[in-house]
Each structure stands twice: as C-alpha cells, then as structure tokens.
Structure 1
C-alpha cells in the first residue's frame, strides 16, 4: 500500500475534464501538492494509505475557481460610489480616491482582504490588474493563493510610476525577480486602449511574444470607448489592437460588451480569449457581452468579477449564475450557457486564458491540487438531482467549506488557515474611516 499525503472522499467529484462528468463513489488522492490519482473509493482505500483521509459525505469537490479579471486592492473601495455611469464613477470618485490613498499599505491590506474573500468563496487563482503589483505578489505568496500578477501599464502618472516606459521597466523587473515562484504567473496589463498609446502597446506586443506571457486588457467595455477610438484613431479598438499585433492568442480581452459579428469571427480565428464580467457590466450599464455567440464561434470565454468597487464582491458562484442567466436572456435561448459550460468558464477556461491549463482548472492526475469542497447538504440546496446545476443556480459561496491550493488547506471548515481574521478586520476598519472622511 502506497503512503500519500491525503485522500479526499466527497459525495460527488466534478472534474471538469472530461466535460459533463460527475463521479460518485470516487476519491481523489493528493501527494506533494499534486493530484496523484482519481479512482473509485474502494480501489483508493486498497491502494493508498493517506496521512489524512477527509470524508465529505454531503459535498461536491470541484477544481478551484479562477477569477480571470479583478483589481484586488479595490476591496478597500467597496461600495464607495455606487449607481453611477462608468466615466463618472471613475473620474469623480475612484480615481480621486486612488490618488489620495494608493500606496504599498493600501495595496497590501486590500489584497489581503481580497484573498480572504476569494478563498472563502472557492477562488484559488486570481488574475490581477493594479498598481504596486510587487506588493500583490508578496501578499499572495504569504497567504498561499495562486495569482497571475498584472504588470500594469498606463500613460498617466500614479503613485507607482510616472509614464508608460517606467511602468514597463518596473514590471519587467518584478517578472525577473519572481518568475520562478510556483504559485505566481504574470500578465502584461495595459489598462485599456483609451489609456495606453500606440508605442507602449507595440512594445508590449513584442515582449509578450518574446516572454510568452499574456496581455490582460479592458477592451470594448462601453459604447463610449468605441466612439472615442473612432474619433482618435479612425478605427474601433479591436482593429487598432490587431494592427499593433496584440489580437492573437496571448490577448485576454476583458468585458467585450460591444461586438459585431465580424469581430467575433476575428477573435475566434486569432485565438483571443475573452473574459466576461457579467455583474460589473450590468452594474455600470456597460452593455452585454454576446457570450453564446462567442462560445458557438469557438472563442475561449473565461469569467471574472472585476474589482469590488464596481461589482461589489469577488463571488465567482454569483458570476456563474449571472453569466448563465444573462446568456439566456441576451440570446433568447433557454439552452444557452448550460451549467456545465458556466462551471468550465469559471475553472478550466480561465486557466487556459492564463496559460495555466496544464497546471490547474480541472481535477486531473498530474495537475496541482487546487480544489474546493462545496457543501450541498444545506437545506437551501435540497433536494439534489444534479450537483452541477446546483453549483451554478442554487449554491451560495457560504457553502464552500474547504479550499486547497497545491494541496495546502487554506480554508478548513470555513476557517482561514493563513490569514488572521481579527487583525484583518481591524486594519480594514481603519481604512474605512480614512477613506469615508475624504470622499
């Protein structure tokens, strides 16, 4: 009998690969942070001896959720300026608050709060875009959560850098210093077509190809963005990015609420990934991403929450449900974006967009043991005919009981293991007082 670190035996295992698969009577075997085996429980108990054997009789075990777009430190601005159009929200509230408060301490505490929220909600990997990315990397490493660190680029000065060239150089330095860390990956993160000029974008296209890392960018977020692009550059943003060499398989285009049929075909042909943020788009009245048309065209669509200043949470279960319901309403097709597809968007599709599909996104032997146990035994989840349907349409994030990253338990029985809850609450309370007084 082979000794292993842990065996997990839930009621259901939803591996995501193969698609539309639900396993009952199976166990997952984890050793040295990776999935060693997935097999019937009787065989697992005959073949392996686990240092720990977790039995979760009412739970579904799923891959860790991948939040493919967020601005984690903005948890400190949650609910600050609600019910406003995007540019009013940005120019008159968010950007002024950031100008007053953003620094290493702000990013540290905001990221720590975001990590706590995400782990409690089943997210094991997040793709970030914000200032002081080295601080986000530091906090992520301390907590043990997997992070894709966005190396932000913007033409405007901030507390972190003064101009696009400095943003790029500082980002490259961070990449060089941290690229060997197993839980960290990197994306270039030019903010948006309307905030980054042609020359920096050309350089990022070259660097992305040379280093083989994604480019993570807000694209086609609002109708106003498109009108401004046509006035300034004579073309829509996606066409401009294509001319600059940025619309290939390394591009993660976030939001994409304004798309024509030819653009959808271009995205499919180019292998560009789309990150859908349904709740943020709805709250800011930015428009509707044509998700079903994108999926039918063969585009890889992932899910993100956006930042908590515009959502107002980091709840990927909520995003799955909203994405599935919205796709049906927008397409007029009740069969659009079924539950298995929504779950795949929140797991494997996000991993693919980040270039991490060989490492995470499904419960496949050989991959990292990034996993989440969801308690379907709550009264609100009864009866259970189809656990995947429940995960998308009925479950709340409070039903996540356990979260593991690389086999390490970061949430056990709803308790965080690497974050001091009491101390974090005190730090956030101090920020709330300061920010509220200044707004």
Structure 2
C-alpha cells in the first residue's frame, strides 16, 4: 500500500460494497486519492494512514452513490402542477401546454439545479436525464458536481426547442460538442417514445448511436394504452416494432417497460437492453406494476429511476428503492421477490451497468471512482440496527443522508450542499411559481 498522504479517509461503521452479494464490511476505512478509491482496509490498519481529511462516521453506512436511471430534472419546476390524472391526459392537457409556455434555457437550468440539490441531499450521485435545452442541463451538472447523463429528446412535433426530429438531432449534436471532454457529463440520444417517434427517425437514431458511440434512452411500454394503440396502428406491439428497427441492444435504456409478456421479457434478455424501473411514477399515474422479478430472473439488467417531479413529486431514490422492493413483492404475492440487497444493486451497480460505466462507479472497490454516500443510522427511526442493508432499503429516509461524494469531492457535508446555494435555488423556484401562475396554469 502507498503510504504517502491521501486526500480523504472515511472510517465507517458499515460499508455496503455491492461487490459481492450481501457483502457488508464492518469497521473499515476507505482511502481516497485523486478522486478514486485507493484502498479499503480494516479501521485498525487505517489508524496510521495520513490524509488531508479524516472522517469518523462510526454510526453510518457508507455505500455507492445512488444512480437515478430515468428522470426529467427540469420538470421539478412543474412539481404539483397537475396531479391525479391519467398519463395521456396529464401530458396533453397540462404538462405539454405548460412546457410550451415556459420551457427555455433558464427554465431548464434553474429546474435542473433545484432537482440536483434535492437528489444530492437524498444520496443520488448520478442522473440519467431526458429533456430539452441540453446545454443548460449540462451546465447544471457542472454547477452541482453531479455525474450527469444528458438525454437529448427527439420527437416528430415542434416544441420550444426544435421544429422536427431532424432539428432535435442537429441541435443535440451541436450542444454535445461544447461538453466533450467533461468527465462528469455524457450526452445520450433520447427518442421520446414509440408513439411520438417515426420509423425513419428511430433508424436515424440507431445509426447515429453507433457512429457516435452514444447510448439510447426511450420510454417504452409504459401503459397498456400505449401498447394497444401501437398494435392497432402498426400491427405489432411497440417492442416488436423497435426490434425490427434495430433499437434493441445493450445501448438501449428502456424506461418503464411495465406491460410485457413472457416473449418480450425473453426478447429484452436476448438483446441485452437495460430497464429503468420507476415504481412511484408508475403507481401515481396508474400505469401498472412492472414484472421486475421475472425480468431479473431472465437476466435482464434492471435499474431504478424517479421519473420527473411532475409525475412523482419527489426525487427520492431511497424511497424509490424501497418502493421497488415492496411493489415487486405485492405484484407477485411473493415476499422473497427483490430482497433488500438486490434492491440496492438495482439502485447502484445495475444503473452503472446500464450506462456502461460499471467499471468506474456503482460499487465500493479499489480503483473505482469515489462516488459514495453516508447514511446516519443513529436516529430513533433506525434503531436498533441489526442489519444495515435492511435499514437502508426499508427504514432509512433521505434526511439521514449526511455526506455525498462524487469523484472524491464532497458535494454534501453534514447535510450542507457545498456547491449549490440552497437559498438562491429556493428564490428562483418561487420566482418560477409566480411566472407560471401568472400565465394561468
């Protein structure tokens, strides 16, 4: 072991590594240098190591940062604007009209920064986003320090951002060039959904993704209505259509995938795509219960997402992880479906695998980036602590997240954000509330 000074040493009561199933290290220390985990040793061995900062978190779980595999960060400014609606009614009657009146560069930047503050305070270190004005989203990621996947939305119809599918694609690639080389910023192609994107556009996306080595992020099989309408209009279910268009591959992150039959589960496994499971949004919009247990048993990689705050109302990955575990149990009437450690894997390493960066983040291992969080289990709500894995999934709340690091940089320290100005964000959110109300929403 290298003996010269580290940047940070974190002494933890428990470390959930997500390296081996059910692996929990007790009374160990993590040594960080240049943004990476350089050593993981028993606390007794760490006593002689030197670092610029030594933290003693003797009541805490330290674990990989949570990876939000599907979100629309800027829509935080539309939180609570329209609730208790069916998906298509919610979109066409409320959300799309509001976006048409307000979405522009400053809306996206302010909304994304607000979302990132919320996510960091809840232990999320990476967001896989999908929206418009991608430069603004990337700048928010740089401002917050979060690892940010900027999904470039592509549709056939005009919005404030683009006139048609070709315009969306051109603008996405132009904005992407500005941020090439930024280690924490990655652009993806995000055709919205089978019901908003044509065959020709999907073909262009597949070709472009291969040429530019980009991921594809798309809503698929979110509702029964979507599947039924697709079958009526094209003669096949949407997933079969996308297969024929070449979309199904390990590049694809399919958001929702609620309504699947056995053949489609096998198809997803065979083509190696990943699924972003959004349990709370799916429940709130009454979209249904995704067959997560069957997907996992088939070998499909399933991660966890919050969706946007306009359809979920909070961007709380700990709550989402808990909900994903519970919903799988009640959906199958099987209490062993999605155990606690599996749920944690879904919210960490599975998300990293979907994004093609599981060699860099998603678990606590020597050589990986120090994207870590600490959760304080000393409160009455999590006492006594028999099993830290169980507590993280079933008992702990986001208010117990005390520290967050991305690439070794502390972005949350003792519940205080280090980069983002909380008061300024709240003032901007209030300003946007007045603007939206003034336009009659």
Post-superposition offset of 1:316: 0.3
In structure 2, what is the equivalent of residue 260 of structure 1?
A: 261
For residues 113-171 of structure 1, the C-alpha deviation after alignment (integer angstroms, 9 at most, x for no partner) is 00100000000000000010110001111221110110111111111111100111111
Cα distance in 1 for residues equivalent to 2:204 and 2:97: 29
Large movers: runs of 4+ above 6 Å: none
Instruction: Establish whether residue 209 from structure 1 lines up as the match of residue 203 from structure 2.
Output: no
Post-superposition offset of 1:173: 1.8
Secondary structure in 1 aligned to 2:209?
A: helix
Q: TM-score normalized by structure 1?
A: 0.98
In structure 2, what is the equivalent of residue 42 of structure 1?
A: 44
Cα distance in 1 for residues equivalent to 2:350 and 2:429: 33
Give runs of aligned pairs for residues 130-169 of structure 1, distance below 5 A: 130-169=131-170
- Larger deviation: 138-147 or 295-304? 138-147
Post-superposition offset of 1:272: 0.9
Give runs of aligned pairs for residues 221-300 of structure 1, distance below 5 A: 221-300=222-301
Give runs of aligned pairs for residues 344-423 of structure 1, distance below 5 A: 344-423=345-424
Gaps of 5+ in 2: none
Post-superposition offset of 1:108: 0.9
Cα distance in 1 for residues equivalent to 2:8 and 2:322: 32
In structure 2, what is the equivalent of residue 101 of structure 1?
A: 102
Gaps of 5+ in 1: none
Cα distance in 2 for residues equivalent to 1:287 and 1:155: 27
Cα distance in 2 for residues equivalent to 1:267 and 1:143: 34
Post-superposition offset of 1:206: 1.1
Post-superposition offset of 1:10: 1.1
Instruction: Establish whether residue 25 from structure 1 lines up as the match of residue 23 from structure 2.
Output: no
Give runs of aligned pairs for residues 299-338 of structure 1, distance below 5 A: 299-338=300-339
**Does the aligned pair in 1 maintain the 2:135–2:176 contact within 8 Å?**
no
For residues 305-337 of structure 1, the C-alpha deviation after alignment (integer angstroms, 9 at most, x for no partner) is 000000011000111111000000111111000
Cα distance in 2 for residues equivalent to 1:436 and 1:352: 41
Post-superposition offset of 1:42: 1.7
Secondary structure in 1 aligned to 2:265?
A: helix
Secondary structure in 1 aligned to 2:5?
A: strand
Secondary structure in 2 aligned to 1:160?
A: coil
Q: TM-score normalized by structure 2?
A: 0.98
Cα distance in 1 for residues equivalent to 2:298 and 2:112: 36
Post-superposition offset of 1:174: 2.3
Cα distance in 2 for residues equivalent to 1:247 and 1:37: 38
Post-superposition offset of 1:288: 1.0
Secondary structure in 2 aligned to 1:216?
A: strand
Give runs of aligned pairs for residues 171-186 of structure 1, distance below 5 A: 171-186=172-187
- Larger deviation: 201-210 or 94-103? 201-210
Secondary structure in 2 aligned to 1:2?
A: coil
CA RMSD of aligned residues (A): 0.9
Cα distance in 2 for residues equivalent to 1:355 and 1:213: 10
For residues 414-439 of structure 1, the C-alpha deviation after alignment (integer angstroms, 9 at most, x for no partner) is 01111111111111111112213321
**Does the aligned pair in 1 maintain the 2:274–2:354 contact within 8 Å?**
yes
**Does the aligned pair in 1 maintain the 2:133–2:161 contact within 8 Å?**
yes
Cα distance in 1 for residues equivalent to 2:140 and 2:273: 30
For residues 260-314 of structure 1, the C-alpha deviation after alignment (integer angstroms, 9 at most, x for no partner) is 0000001111101011000000000011100000000000000000000000110
